[in-house]
Structure formats: structure tokens, C-alpha cells
Amino acid sequence: MLINLSKQMNYRLLLFTFFTISTVFSQQAYYDDVNLTLSGMALKSELSNKIIASHTNNLSYAEVWNALKITDLVPGSATDVYLVYGYNDVDGDITTDLTRDKNSNGGSVGDWNREHVYPKSLGIPDLGTSGPGADAHMLRSSDVQRNGMRGNMKFVDGAGFSQSISGGWYPGDEWKGDVARIIMYMYLRYESRCLPINTGVGTSVNIDPDMVDLFLEWNAEDPVSSYEEVRNDYLGATSNQFGQGNRNPFIDNPYLATKIWGGTAAEDIWGIYASVAESDLNNSIAVYPNPVDDILTIELDDELNLESVSIYSLFGKLIYSELSMASKEHNVSYLESGVYMIEVVTNSGTAFKKIIVN
């Protein structure tokens, strides 16, 4: 992801702040009245009731313009917003821009507009421009032309940057997790009006024929970013001008989707659901020093064999991967300063570790 250097410095500071906070606190107080010991459709119903009841401020479609100028700001910037599906600010193609001035909104070439991640026309009935059609958790700033390229195409699996694939739309490696968590939120918030199966191509899961495995996979593969967290905090507040009062639970903890629908296990941000086996595996793997400057050491207990190591950005982009590693030392001096996710695959399972690179 291309961000200019001055923005990167502030971005890294914000990432570090969020990493520090996440190590101190578990679940948000917002969920104190939710029975998080439930699973399956019972947990889905519990979370659905919560986000419906707490959605006390319904924004108008016009208000969303100003809301996105706040929620979609690049962390550390007061002027630029992220453009969903975007990926490159310097390739000379305006339709691929990752960021744009927040006041360049409208309907012309070079403007950004409001992308319905869940297309209006795929709702039952059409979502319109009020209620679900004006929910800021679902609407994202997007380049006008790229928004038009997506249209109302269903999401399909792919790889790389955002693109049309066989009549469907792949949002891009760095946006697919955002998309998945938005679609799952809309399903809980508006229920039968916003069924995941109507906007994503995949296989229905056994427990719920209206959920497709595609979104569960994306939720697990693309970790929550600090951008999503900041956005969720603003919209979940009641004191902010454009706060709706409700939160997206899958941004707060992606593992909630795993607890409801199963499938590929997502990260348990709260650390309250990990099985004994998962906890034992994590405790059997040491990654140090942390923070690291150049050489990162990955040390396993004697009974474990290291099969592969992969490094991901917080946006879920694969940066480095090696199979059958013999060495436990890895040079990470080429990485820019920031927070990364390390995937350590062993003969007994997979563990994830967060590291800070100085």
C-alpha cells in the first residue's frame, strides 16, 4: 500500500498506540450485556439484537458525505480519505488511487463518492438511500469510476488488486477483510434484507444457508486494520455528530464470525475463545526480540517442527513467506517500521504473533 512518508510516520505511531491498547484491554464494555458464551445462530441472534437496539442515530444519505470525511480519513491525516478498492497513488491512473482529498467528493472524474459495499439493488427489497442504504458502517468513500466498475457485481474470490473476474468483483487483497466484515454486519443489522448469499459467490455454510464461506475466509485471511478500528469507534459512539451508536462486532473481534458460522478460524482479538490446544501452541512458540530492528528469532519447543513462516501487513497483504525453514533467525531489516502479523506453521498447527518493527 502506497502512503507518502509524512503520513507513514503518523500511521506507524497510531498503529503502535492501537497495538499497545489491544494488549491491555479485552472486549469492549459495549458487549457487557451480550451473552458471549453462546455460539452458532444463538450468538448471531444475540449480536443482532444488540446492534439493532443500539443503532439510535440513523444518518440521512446526505449526512453520510460528511460522516465519511471523518470516518474514512487516512490515520494521521486531516485531509485525505482512503478509497475502498484503491491501491496506488503514483501509477498515473486516477481510478486506482488509494487516497484522495476529503473534499474532492462528488460525481465527476477525479471525485470520490459513496460506495455501497452491499449494493442497493441486491437487497430484498432495494436498500434505497435511507435506513440500510444510508448506514455508514456499509458505505465507503470510493473513486467514482472504480465504483462504477464494480457496479452491483457480486463479490468473488481472486488475488492481487481489485478487479472484475468472470462477471464478479474481487475487492483486492487489502480490502477483502473489510468487505467481509461489512457484509456480515449488514446481515446481522438488517437480517433478511441483506443476505450474504445475495452479494457473494461461494458455498453456503451448513449451519446457515444464507452465509457463504467466501466471507468467512476473507475475514480470517485479512486481519482487522487500525483504520477499521478507528472507523468503528467513531460510528459506535453516541457523542459524535455522525456516530450511529452501534458497532460492527466483527471488527471488534473477527473470531465472532467463527463462533457463529465456523469455517476458517479468524483471529480472536479478545483472547477469550482460544482452545487449550491453541493456547498451548502459542505458548510453545517464542518470537523475539519484539520490537525488532533486524534479526527476528522464532524459537519452538522441542516437539515442534517449523514448516513455514509468513509475514503479513495489518491490511492482510502477504509480504514474505518461506517453506520448510531450517533456520530460526530471519532478517526483517527490509521491513518498514510498523506492526506486522507473523504466521508460524508447525507440524502441530498454526500460530499467529504480532511484532513491531522499529
Residue pLDDT tens, the chain, 358 long: 333 333 333 333 333 333 333 433 468 999 999 999 899 999 999 999 999 999 999 999 999 999 999 999 999 999 999 999 999 999 999 999 999 999 999 999 999 999 999 999 999 999 999 999 999 999 999 999 999 999 999 999 999 999 999 999 999 999 999 999 999 999 999 999 999 999 999 999 999 999 999 999 999 999 999 999 999 999 999 999 999 999 999 999 999 999 999 988 899 999 887 655 566 777 888 999 999 999 999 988 887 888 788 888 866 778 888 775 556 888 899 999 988 888 888 777 778 888 999 9
Q: Which CATH number describes the domain made up of 276-357? A: 2.60.40.3080
HSE-CB of 281 using CA atoms within 13 angstroms: 19
Query: Residue 158, Cβ neighbours under 10 Å: how many?
Result: 18
Q: Name every residue whose Cβ is closer than 8 Å to that of residue 51 and which is 6 or more positions away in sequence.
A: 185, 188, 189, 246, 247, 248, 249
Its pTM stands at: 0.73
Q: What angle do CA 173, 66, 316 make, to 5 degrees?
A: 15
Cα–Cα distance, 346 to 309 (Å, whole number)? 9
Ranges of CATH 2.60.40.3080 domains, the chain: 276-357
